[in-house]
Structure 1
Amino acid sequence: MLKKSLVLMSISAAFFAQAQDVSVIRNSIDVYSSSPNIGSAKFNAMGGSNGALGGDANSLLTNPAGLGVAISGEISGTLSILSNKNTSSLAGSSFGYKTNKGDLGNVGAVMTFQLMTESAWKFINVGVNYSNQSIENYIETPGNSNLIYDFNNGNSSSLGRHAYDRYGYMSKTSVGVGANYNHNLYIGAGLNFFNSSIDQSDTAAFTSLQTGASEYFSKQNTPFYERGNGFSASLGVIGKLSPNFRVGAALETPTFWNIDRSYNFYNDAIYGDDYAIENRKFTSPLKATVSAAFIASKSFSLNVDYSLGLTTPKYKVYGVAETELNDFFKENYKNVSELRLGAEYRLKQFRLRGGYAFTSNPLDALTISSFNNDGSASDRSYSNLMLNNRNALSFGLGYDFKSFYIDAAYQNISSKYTNPFLRGVVNDNVEAGYYSPNNLISSDSYAVSDVKNNRNNFFLTFGWKF
């Protein structure tokens, strides 16, 4: 029975149990702490790996020193089709749902200025890059007839289904400058401006054991709506060790977010059911990237990037909610590392590209009280709660018409994680349950489903060199 499921939890999970909504934690890491990394079809086909190669506007996504590598002007636009599918499984049943979004994924431009002097400084280049992606994510989980809640009016209902539903987008606009010193050393700097939009809901349906009718509930403080803007700065350097080898390093400051937020609340002693508006300040982790490239000839190049978050996410404290979130990140957040590999082979005017990227799990293992399939509850430890490692494979083709070029790329990103929901305590001090116009659900434990996430993305770029 949901209301009789109180089980003592470990200290590491205590923060998690209090920290508002699962969606807030997930979005803090998955959205606000990871900037959009959709570039041109070439960039995506090579796994987003170009930190020591550079040469185009997408250098602003990894290492702004790459702007200094360019020796001619260029402008490009990329169309993206993003397909995101989640399959959530609970108690032997599964629901799968796919979303497809087409959009303008990337626009980039580099303007080169050759210095006609005797100085060793050869070029000063200016770059602009715009990257945009949908963050829509829908996770629907089937019900479990063994998870039964007894209402105070004597009626009982079983879990019919649950859904996390997120709509929105994230964009990053970057401007930067790169310089070429004697074709051996390249330095660069960039400013990054972010915009985000999130519409998030957390709902559950329960089926009456008496009538078979479904009743729909919303989690306290949901749905919520967030509109954010932020900025960061980046510095980078690339050096040639030999005509064939380059190394690079870049540092990106935390992104300083300003987030306007509104949310629905329920069962308040004074206001009843209403909505509230607030503002939050959020700081994402500081990030460092090191890179290496091997250019065998004009026909083949290989690049590897390794990025590491150096700090933890943090909210400016206005009250208990931000303190709980910061305590959770301090206790359970792991510095995220990302490895990206990319290669390009040129055969006359044809281009063949491939890439791989790995992103580590941002959270430590957590122990929580969760429901078993038979409806009982017990402490369980999860190494992939809410988020997990991500693997990305990609490949692409291109054709260079000298002044014009066209590139295409395919990218597959996969991840498996466990999805907690349904916990929400309602007592004299806390109103955090699931609410309908007539009833409320109070649960000390989580239901946890297994989610397979699979993204299949396609990109098409048209470019002009001048």
Structure 2
Amino acid sequence: MLKKSISILSISAFFFAQAQNVTVLRNTMDVYSGGGLQGTAKYNAMAGSMGALGGDASAAVTNPAGVGVAISSSISGTLAINNINNKSTLAGASKEYSFNKTDLGNIGGIASFQLLTETPWKFVNIGVNYSSKSIEDYVETPGNNNLTYSIPATADVLTYAGHAFNRYGNVSKMNIAIGANYDNQIYIGGGLNFHGAQIDQYDSAAFYSAVDKKIDYYEKQDTPYSETSSGFSANVGIIGKISQEFRLGAALETPTWWTMERVYNYYSSPNDGTAAEDRKLTTPMKATLSAAMVPTKNLAVNVDYTVGLGKPKYKVYGGAETELNNFYKEYSQTTSEIKIGAEYRIKNFRLRGGYGYESNPTKTVNLTELTVNGNLKDASYSNFLLGERNTLGLGLGYDFGSVFLDFAYQNVSSEYKNPFLKGDAAYNAGYFSNKYIVEYDGSLVSNVKRNLNNYSITLGWKF
């Protein structure tokens, strides 16, 4: 058994000593607090940058005033094909894994109602947008023969043979918005957002037994777990024409209030079983400022800047939620995202492109690291669990008149530090098999490079 580090532990190192799984941190920031939901192929090709342009049902997710820009009704469906590639590197050795997912990524439409009155109000429109994406993820890290674990009171020595985080599920968001057009100069709107998430999470390690001469697989305490969640938020926005060429937009989305129900495995041999718990999470509110330039009918350029206001916060039912809140209070930081998108029209053809940058949701985090030689050391990482994310979008479209067809390619890349294998004996938080318990006082840390290649095809009808 390794001795505990004698250094003074920071708040984050203390957190990892508790009976918590690191996937809770990642999923809170990625699945529940993050964005990244796709929309129509037009929206995806422009990297989601449409806050001051509007006219697309997906744009209402950023600014519901965009619904009021539309002057005709439309409906569309989008097929999403996603390729995920993760490469995890530890001590010079790497494991790489790729897989594909195909889903109905988006359904949306706008019902446009022209007001035949003498007032400046021109249109009142209703938009409905439903986006869904798979959150399936698999990160496998290679083993290392230098890292061993001696089983007390036996002659057996375990050699670390690998680790995997495995996640299945999906996340969705339905937006229902109302937008109005005032004199073709000012557009206002408001919307309600209904969120949903389903997560099946695994945290597994493999060890080779010197006595049994085989590899056994171990599960982290409280995993695997299944989590079903629902959430609610609302947003409001405005778009104004400064001139015929320039538009400005602003939008605000309330925090999302999530309710979670979780069932997980609990190991306390010989009384292994399952347990259940409920949690409530409030994620940060978001503010977006947008600017667009439309110099001609053939060209449109848009810039969106979104900033998170606040930090994730769990309702406290016990020590677990307190630990989570302490971590976010100390180490989460204001996230920001900038997106730039453009569309150029050549007769009936549409050429689109976009770029987005999203900042790291955590500050530099300190933890007790376990080296592949079995030593403990204090370490600090700035790209912890998620890291910065860059999005590049490209797209083509063709307008047949009442029918339109769009295609988009989108690449999302990131690089982050991946801690695992921590399991302090004092909190019964180790890795369990049918024979042994493995409990380390520090985290192995691999480097993960993640690439998502998203392809989307939208077929729509204007009427």
Fold similarity call, TM over 0.5: yes
Give the Cα–Cα distance (whole angstroms) in 1 for the partners of residues 454 and 56 of structure 2: 22
1:341-399 CA-partner distances (Å, limit 9, x unpaired): 10000000000000000010001111111123433221111111211000011100000
Partner AA of 2:123 in structure 1? F
Partner AA of 2:314 in structure 1? Y
Partner AA of 1:462 in structure 2? L
Give the Cα–Cα distance (whole angstroms) in 2 for the partners of residues 175 and 380 of structure 1: 46
Identity, % of aligned pairs?
52
Give the Cα–Cα distance (whole angstroms) in 2 for the partners of residues 348 and 7 of structure 1: 70
Query: Is the contact made by 1:257 and 1:283 (CA closer than 8 Å) also made in structure 2?
Result: yes
Report the CA distance between 1:195 and its aligned residue. 1.1
Show the counterpart of 1:175: 176
Partner AA of 2:458 in structure 1? T
Query: Is the contact made by 2:174 and 2:194 (CA closer than 8 Å) also made in structure 1?
Result: yes
Show the counterpart of 1:447: 444
Partner AA of 1:356 in structure 2? Y
Give the Cα–Cα distance (whole angstroms) in 1 for the partners of residues 419 and 56 of structure 2: 42
Partner AA of 1:230 in structure 2? G
TM-score scaled by length of structure 2: 0.98
What is the DSSP-based 3-state SS (H/G/I as helix, E as strand, rest coil) of the residue aligned with 1:144? coil
Q: Which runs of 5+ in 1 are unaligned?
A: none
What is the DSSP-based 3-state SS (H/G/I as helix, E as strand, rest coil) of the residue aligned with 1:31? helix
Give the Cα–Cα distance (whole angstroms) in 2 for the partners of residues 118 and 79 of structure 1: 42
Show the counterpart of 1:194: 195
Give the Cα–Cα distance (whole angstroms) in 1 for the partners of residues 148 and 5 of structure 2: 15
Task: Confirm or deny that 1:163 pairs with 2:160.
Answer: no
Query: Is the contact made by 2:17 and 2:423 (CA closer than 8 Å) also made in structure 1?
Result: no
Change in 2 beyond 3 A, CA 1:102/1:261: same
Show the counterpart of 2:365: 366
Query: Is the contact made by 2:55 and 2:68 (CA closer than 8 Å) also made in structure 1?
Result: yes
Task: Confirm or deny that 1:306 pairs with 2:305.
Answer: yes
Give the Cα–Cα distance (whole angstroms) in 2 for the partners of residues 215 and 465 of structure 1: 58
Query: Is the contact made by 2:2 and 2:374 (CA closer than 8 Å) also made in structure 1?
Result: no
Give the Cα–Cα distance (whole angstroms) in 2 for the partners of residues 52 and 334 of structure 1: 27
Query: Is the contact made by 2:171 and 2:198 (CA closer than 8 Å) also made in structure 1?
Result: yes
Alignment of 1:13-412 (within 5 A): 13-18=12-17, 20-152=20-152, 153-267=154-268, 272-412=271-411
What is the DSSP-based 3-state SS (H/G/I as helix, E as strand, rest coil) of the residue aligned with 2:145? strand
What is the DSSP-based 3-state SS (H/G/I as helix, E as strand, rest coil) of the residue aligned with 1:183? coil
Report the CA distance between 1:335 and its aligned residue. 1.1
- After the TM superposition, which of the residue ranges 449-458 and 6-15 deviates more from structure 2? 6-15
What is the DSSP-based 3-state SS (H/G/I as helix, E as strand, rest coil) of the residue aligned with 2:32? coil
Give the Cα–Cα distance (whole angstroms) in 1 for the partners of residues 192 and 199 of structure 2: 23
Query: Is the contact made by 1:254 and 1:286 (CA closer than 8 Å) also made in structure 2?
Result: yes
Give the Cα–Cα distance (whole angstroms) in 2 for the partners of residues 209 and 3 of structure 1: 18
- After the TM superposition, which of the residue ranges 206-215 and 110-119 deviates more from structure 2? 206-215
- After the TM superposition, which of the residue ranges 382-391 and 208-217 deviates more from structure 2? 208-217
Give the Cα–Cα distance (whole angstroms) in 1 for the partners of residues 306 and 84 of structure 2: 25
Change in 2 beyond 3 A, CA 1:33/1:232: same
Report the CA distance between 1:456 and its aligned residue. 0.5
Q: Which runs of 5+ in 2 are unaligned?
A: none
Alignment coverage as a number of residue pairs: 461
Partner AA of 1:41 in structure 2? A
Query: Is the contact made by 1:163 and 1:202 (CA closer than 8 Å) also made in structure 2?
Result: yes
Query: Is the contact made by 1:258 and 1:279 (CA closer than 8 Å) also made in structure 2?
Result: yes
Query: Is the contact made by 1:80 and 1:460 (CA closer than 8 Å) also made in structure 2?
Result: yes
Query: Is the contact made by 1:63 and 1:250 (CA closer than 8 Å) also made in structure 2?
Result: yes
Give the Cα–Cα distance (whole angstroms) in 2 for the partners of residues 253 and 290 of structure 1: 15
What is the DSSP-based 3-state SS (H/G/I as helix, E as strand, rest coil) of the residue aligned with 1:82? strand
Over the residues paired in the alignment, what is the CA RMSD in angstroms? Answer: 1.2
What is the DSSP-based 3-state SS (H/G/I as helix, E as strand, rest coil) of the residue aligned with 1:317? coil
Give the Cα–Cα distance (whole angstroms) in 2 for the partners of residues 426 and 141 of structure 1: 23
1:317-349 CA-partner distances (Å, limit 9, x unpaired): 100000100111000001110110100000000
Report the CA distance between 1:9 and its aligned residue. 4.8
